[in-house]
Structure 1
Amino acid sequence: MSSVAEGPLSSEFVSLITPGVRRATLLTEDGVRIEAVYEPCTADVTDTVIVVAHGFTGSVERPALRRAAEVFAQYAAVITFSFRGHGGSGGRSTVGDREVLDLAAAVRWAKSLGYGRVVTVGFSMGGSVVLRHAALHGGRTEAQIDAVASVSAPARWYYRGTAPMRRVHWLVMRPLGRLVGRFGFRTRIHPEDWDPVPLSPVESVPLIAPTPLLIVHGDRDAYFPLDHPRMLAGAGPAELWVEAGMGHAENAADEALLRRIAGWLVRQ
């Protein structure tokens, strides 16, 4: 897997418009087609759009992501999308590396719709991607964002300290695991190792300021223990929420938490 190039964005999109909802195919800087959905705010008129980045093996059509989008749409317009190698998007997953280009394409589409504020929220792998995107694109007006929320994200790469993460590494690193990913989870995984290793989430945090940053993590997360969010929050200016009884990522985020995250994003 090659790391993200530091060139200007060149994403394009073709929209299929239905009443209130727009489905689009976005083209990333490296030529991957990404499926995306825009949903207007269902409440008051807003100048904010929330771009939502799902976790590994997720997609724009997964129930947990759709539930999150429905809650967020009560506070702002929402854009959801499937990362490369997931759902109906093209390409193959690089498990957090070139996915930053997918998010950049979604942010550019959000800006093209005329909203004054674009904010991002990501879960698990998506949580690491929103951190890296904010760090790498902070000075570029076409991809710059106004606030970031990272939920259930790892702080460092190659973590194998829990049984679920050892299973994830088997899925990603082994040929049989990638077959299981393709046919069992509709996730096509790139077979090559990272070269070079991308900027880690914890290395990204100091580069995000002055953009407001929120770190959210459950105290019952089976994938990443609490040293991960504490490392992230300690690496730079950030607000940390440790949620009692919460497990991992979008599947574990209840409506009350989603509302609090949305409220935080629109207030920044």
Structure 2
Amino acid sequence: MHTTKDPGQLDSVTVVPPNVTPVTSVSHDAVTLHGLHLTSSPSVTDLAFVVGHGFTNHVRKPFVLRVLERFARHGGVVALDFRGHGRSHGLSTVGNDEVHDLAAGVSLARDLGYRRVVTVGFSMGASIALRHAALHDERPAAVAAVSTPSRWWVRDTVAMRRVHWLLEQPHGRLAARALGVRLGPPWRITPPSPLEVVHRIAPTPLLIVHGEEDHYFGPAHARALHRAAGGGGELWLEPRIRHAESAMTPALVDRIATWLDHRSTDEGSR
């Protein structure tokens, strides 16, 4: 049995671990970002997955790294710590300015020579991936959003009430720093939510993946985004799956990677 923090055993066959190289990039608004480039074969530069982690996570957390390593079976992986997280500089804006960070990851993947670049985000990273695909000039070849909120200010679960305590209360902000997150000031202007912009992602292929047992954002968020996409996206509601990277199984990562690979080709996007 797998716990929610463990994607489980990879397979019974021998697998060569990917090459993992530290990378650095700078966002459009001049924030230095540190992360990892994973590849099973340095000579293969067809497909890259640019992965955006969730709030309080970073790319070297064991359960995040296991997800990155699984994606690396299907292509190259570029994953940067979002600002205010891990080894990156700057202060977290909890999804607003982090669109620049994901764009920096996409640019880095292209600079590394990858022909097709797709994005996949988890939780906060999923909201960032949706807004990047909808609003940024250099769009990915396909995008997957896993465990994404559809809107801001969600307080209808115990888990999200804890998150808002971290964000809004003085003691909470100190606790966030203890968790490794350096928070910026509250938003002065509320950015458009994923629900408000998801219709702009088409014709870029869009996959929305959500656990039926997600304890942060219920499945209604995924259904609302799927409706708002106007038929331009595909929805997977996964039984017995909870929230974001810590809930991922090897099989689910493989399915997402295969979907992104197929749909990012000229033939698969038709």
Q: How would you bin the TM-score normalised by the shorter chain?
A: 0.7 to 0.9
Corresponding residue for 2:130?
Answer: 131
Alignment check: 8 A CA contact 2:25 2:33 kept: yes
* Percentage of matched positions with identical amino acids: 50
Residue 107 to residue 243, structure 1, CA distance change in 2 (3 Å): same
CA contact (8 A) 1:43 1:74 kept: no
Asked if 2 retains the 8 angstrom alpha-carbon contact of 1:42 and 1:74, the reply is: no
What aligned pairs does 1:113-192 form with structure 2 within 5 A after superposition?
A: 113-137=112-136, 140=137, 143-183=138-178, 185-190=179-184, 192=185
Pairing 1:31-180 to 2, within 5 Å after superposition: 31-42=30-41, 45=44, 47-137=46-136, 140=137, 143-180=138-175
Secondary structure in structure 2 of the residue aligned to 1:146: coil
The alpha-carbon distance between structure 1 residues 79 and 198, as it changes in their structure 2 partners (threshold 3 A), is same
Q: Which residue of 2 aligns with 1:205?
A: 198
Q: Secondary structure at the match of 1:188?
A: coil
Specify whether residues 144 and 28 from structure 1 end up closer, same or farther in structure 2 by C-alpha distance, changes over 3 A only: same
* Distance change (3 Å), C-alpha of 1:186 and 1:146: same
The CA deviation at 1:24 is 1.8
Q: How far off is 1:174 after superposition?
A: 1.1
Partner residue of 1:253 out of 224, 248, 252: 248
Q: CA deviation at 1:203?
A: 1.2
Per-residue CA deviation, residues 85-121 of structure 1 (Å, 9 max, x unaligned), is 0011111111010010110111110111111100000
Structure-2 separation of matches of 1:46 and 1:29: 24
Q: Indicate conservation of the 8 Å contact 1:41/1:78, yes or no.
A: no
Q: CA deviation at 1:21?
A: 3.7
* Matched residue, 1:222: 215
Unpaired segments ≥5 residues, structure 2: 1-17, 264-270
Kindly report the root-mean-square deviation, in angstroms, between the aligned alpha carbons of the 2 structures.
Answer: 1.5
Aligned residues: 244
Q: Where in structure 1 do 4 or more consecutive aligned residues deviate above 4 Å?
A: none
Deviation string, structure 1 residues 209-246 (Cα, Å, up to 9, x no partner): 00000000001000111110000111111100000000
Question: Is residue 19–residue 40 contact of structure 2 (8 Å, CA) maintained in 1?
Answer: no
- Residue 44 of structure 1: how far off its partner (Å): 9.1
- TM-score between both structures, scaled by the size of structure 2: 0.87
Rounded Cα–Cα distance in structure 1 between residues aligned with 2:43 and 2:94: 36
Look up the SS of the partner of 2:93 in the other structure.
Answer: coil
Paired residue secondary structure (1:51): strand
Normalised by the size of structure 1, how large is the TM-score? 0.88
The Cα shift of 1:43 comes to 10
Q: Name the SS of the counterpart of 2:145 in structure 1.
A: strand
